Structure 1
Amino acid sequence: MTLASLADELASGRLTSRALIEQCLERAEGSRHQGNVAFISIDADRVRADADAADEARRQGRAASPFTGIPVSIKDLFDVEGEVTTAGSRIFAGNPPAAADAAPVARLRAAGFIPFGRANMTEFAFSGLGMNAHYGDPASPWQRDVGRVSGGSSSGGAVSVAEGIVPLTLGTDTGGSCRIPAACCGITGYKPTASRVPQDGTVPLSKSLDSIGPLANSVACCASAFAVLAGERAKELQARPVSGLKLGVLRNFVLDGMDSVVSEAFENALQKLSAAGAEFADVTFTPIDRLPEINVRGGLATAEAFQFHAQFIKDREAQYDQRVASRIRRAEAQQEGEYEHLLQERARMIGQAVEAFAPYDAIVMPTIPVVPPRFADCAEDADYIRNNFLLLRNPSVGNWLDRCGISLPMTPHGEAPAGFMLMGKAGEDEALFGIAAGVEDVLRSAMGR
């Protein structure tokens, strides 16, 4: 399902929003799909009523946009009026319902989208694996019988799109939480420049690093959703021709520890794009080699998460997933002045990146260096920590450098999923969408998608 195809079906009258919603509910409730773990809750009566209202608006010529009546799953980090926001935690499960929609949800609703269910996620968005000790572990659609992570923290939303329950999900991205699940589930995930989408009404993880973005089935879907989220008029996406694109291939830090599947898929993607006329240059940006050292006591995300969670952990730590609580508590080891130093380090590196990456239209790398790990390989704490670092490592570079980024599938449906990530310039989201659409055309043609 793409937004454009559904909009066309709805506009023509071949499909009603109510019929679409019934299809989505049937999939969410059926045993062939993972609705039981992809969603924390779905208010079926409410989404049916919203669908009927959307159909009536169309009949009266009052459709808010071409997307009126299309469902979007909402990560349970965003307030939805009249519903409890749990942030994937038992800590907030007893909170009163939200009095108003979060700003991104309000913009989607104003464009006619129907909020469809509260998508599962890593507790408080603090892991790249997507597992949730309270509400269940959504699995990658690949090798479901084996059981592999769907990526986090926007895990339930990614699964809801990948399994065809809904065509779009609203996620957040602090260190890759839109792009990692996209890579693990074989879909497209977008991290905007952080300042482009307002965060009011969203449970924060890291005020410096948080971004809000969509996951969907194509670049065009993400571009349309982003325009709505950014409060801008959606324009028809024009794919930029790949021929003549100047793409920098980041060769340090992000290629360490690649498995053979991702390595082969990435090099094959580069070859296909080169054959289509893209111009590549190897890029070494040595400042990012220091990121593990900079983040040795948790870094900015941990420091800022602790500012939000300190009292909750003091009063109710036993109710946390202990793997999440232990990551947050790493901030207690940070030294006086370390937080301010981290902000300075980041500002310095952002400036260095602006200069180093200036010659290129985009920087490319694998979204994550491995295929989705098995749940069994994350059972022990040491393995959980190792795999979590591996999945977060590459996409978190974009958050640290305050850049926009997108993950595209680079393997065929049914095969081990792997993501091809493009990192654009801060504030130039629309330019990155054009580049990504051209790259998507080449990769899809090569894969027969």
Structure 2
Amino acid sequence: MPSVRDRLESVLSRLDARAAEERVFTKLYHAPARAAADAADARRAAGLSLGPLDGVIVSIKDLFDVQGEPTLAGSAILREAAPAERDAPVVARLRRAGAVIVGKTNMSEFAFSGIGINPHHGTPGNAADPARVPGGSSSGAGVSVGEGTSEIAIGTDTGGSVRIPASLNGVVGFKPTTGRVPTEGAYPLSWSLDSIGPLARSVAECAAADAVMAGLEPQALDAMPVAGLRIGVPRGLLFTETEDVVAQGFEEALSRLSAAGARIVEHGIDDLLAAMNDATAAAPLVAIEAAAVHADMHEPHAARYDRNVLARIRRGAGVSAAAYLRLTETRRRLIAAMDRRLAPLDVLVLPATATTAPPIAALEADDEAFMRANLLMLRNTTWGNLFDLTGVSLPMPGLPRPAGLMLMKRNGHDRALLEVAAGMEPLLV
């Protein structure tokens, strides 16, 4: 079995060889990573282990605080920001668990896009096809796992920013219930919606990283048998405009689950989706809270923003405090209604993204095409954040380009969702 240091050197060699064109990572930690790898190897030689993340090569999204350096959040504006005084709690917990943090990964500016294009640091090419978008906002995270330059990547998910790049790069991505993992030390996009989750090659790796970041003791997953699972399919609004290849992959996945004994039923949620759409008609919740986060910055530095990000922030800036409070109260009631609606099911399933990854060139030069693609890319995932559900994207089998099967479960049922996903995982390879 190769040493941790050997695995790390293989990754660093690949990244250093393309340093002039590097777009997946924004920063590499050569010396600290080598020290952490050597320490993990020494523990292994002594028969010791800090747990399942000991010696695992991990990347972190470029919005997590690392002591002594500014947190850029994919922007150009924050290059002049004061350095972070301490590591974000999730970063500190990963270090204590023995993770080898290799670097920070690229992202959509301020985490405000499901596409992954970044005009400041360049756009990482998709792991399956570099000419296509990586998905956002945790763009580099998805590509790093997909291409093997990290074994686990840590991203954030406010409207799908873990599950979308997982879907488009053919890896597993887990979004926990909001509040399960502390967001302190992560540059915010929306205080109500932000969550922190892992991307990896397997559900078990995601579960281990989630436990560490949540401050829990990692435990082996008990994969839930597929036979007898009550699986709901919310056909309707979330299935319109679906690319043929994604629809075919989804139906193949359903066939495999049904053949394994799952009970699959149509389970409508369109009325609740419509009610949430009505509540956010003035502006999306994420835009309203992003406008507050950026209130002192987005106009004085407007020329330095990604123009598509700035447009979305401005949309939320004109919403009154009274309208915002009414929205949050309506959302609270709708979260409770969705919880009741999903109670009869073990899990709800649908495509994580309506399409596979579109070409980068088609979206970089055309703002209208970008906005259309971004809205569609976020559609199937964002409602999970608005209703504060937990979700995971698993790669669908046999597709010419990657797309994910998304499993959604009730608020707070994170561990149960991971157990369901672990049971389904072998059927989807």
Shorter-chain-normalised TM-score: which range?
A: over 0.9
Q: Paired residue for 1:28? A: 15
Q: Paired residue for 1:166? A: 150
- What CA RMSD, in Å, does the superposition of the two structures yield over aligned residues? 1.7
Distance 1:94 1:63, change over 3 A: farther
Q: Paired residue for 1:330? A: 315
1:284: Cα distance to partner? 1.1
Task: State the number of aligned residues.
Answer: 427
- Worse overlay, 120-129 or 77-86: 77-86
Q: Following superposition of structure 1 onto structure 2, how do residues 336-355 of structure 1 map, counting pairs within 5 Å?
A: 336-355=321-340
1:165-210 Cα deviation digits (max 9, x unpaired): 1110000000000000000100000000112111111111101001
1:441: Cα distance to partner? 1.4
Q: Which runs of 4+ in 1 moved over 6 A?
A: none
Distance 1:310 1:245, change over 3 A: same
Q: Paired residue for 1:443? A: 428
CA distance in 1, matches of 2:124, 2:17: 15
- Worse overlay, 374-383 or 48-57: 48-57
* TM, length-normalised to structure 2: 0.96
Q: Paired residue for 2:256? A: 272
- 1:143 maps to amino acid: D
Q: Paired residue for 1:137? A: 123
Aligned residue for 1:177, secondary structure, equals coil
Q: Paired residue for 2:5? A: 18
Q: Is contact 1:40-1:135 (8 Å) kept?
A: yes
Distance 1:222 1:34, change over 3 A: farther
Q: Is contact 2:70-2:81 (8 Å) kept?
A: yes
Q: Paired residue for 1:224? A: 208
- 2:89 maps to amino acid: A
Matched, 1:360 2:345: yes
Q: Is contact 1:192-1:429 (8 Å) kept?
A: yes
CA distance in 1, matches of 2:320, 2:88: 34
CA distance in 2, matches of 1:406, 1:104: 20
Q: Following superposition of structure 1 onto structure 2, how do residues 25-64 of structure 1 map, counting pairs within 5 Å?
A: 25-31=12-18, 36-60=22-46, 63-64=49-50
Q: Is contact 1:101-1:201 (8 Å) kept?
A: yes
Q: Paired residue for 1:101? A: 87
CA distance in 2, matches of 1:34, 1:431: 44
1:79: Cα distance to partner? 0.7
CA distance in 2, matches of 1:34, 1:132: 17
1:114: Cα distance to partner? 1.6
Q: Give 1:410's match in structure 2, choosing from 396, 400, 404.
A: 396
- 1:29 maps to amino acid: D
1:59-85 Cα deviation digits (max 9, x unpaired): 455542243222200001111123331
Q: Paired residue for 1:295? A: 280
User: Where do 5+ consecutive residues of structure 2 fail to align?
Assistant: none
1:99-153 Cα deviation digits (max 9, x unpaired): 2110111111110002111100000000000111100101212332xx1111000
* TM, length-normalised to structure 1: 0.92
Q: Paired residue for 1:424? A: 409
Q: Is contact 1:130-1:150 (8 Å) kept?
A: yes
Q: Paired residue for 1:191? A: 175
Matched, 1:284 2:268: yes
Aligned residue for 2:83, secondary structure, equals coil
Q: Is contact 2:246-2:351 (8 Å) kept?
A: yes
1:405: Cα distance to partner? 0.2
- Worse overlay, 162-171 or 291-300: 291-300
- 1:240 maps to amino acid: M
Q: Is contact 1:67-1:111 (8 Å) kept?
A: yes
1:278: Cα distance to partner? 0.4
1:95: Cα distance to partner? 2.2
- Worse overlay, 182-191 or 287-296: 287-296
Matched, 1:150 2:137: no
CA distance in 1, matches of 2:36, 2:316: 43
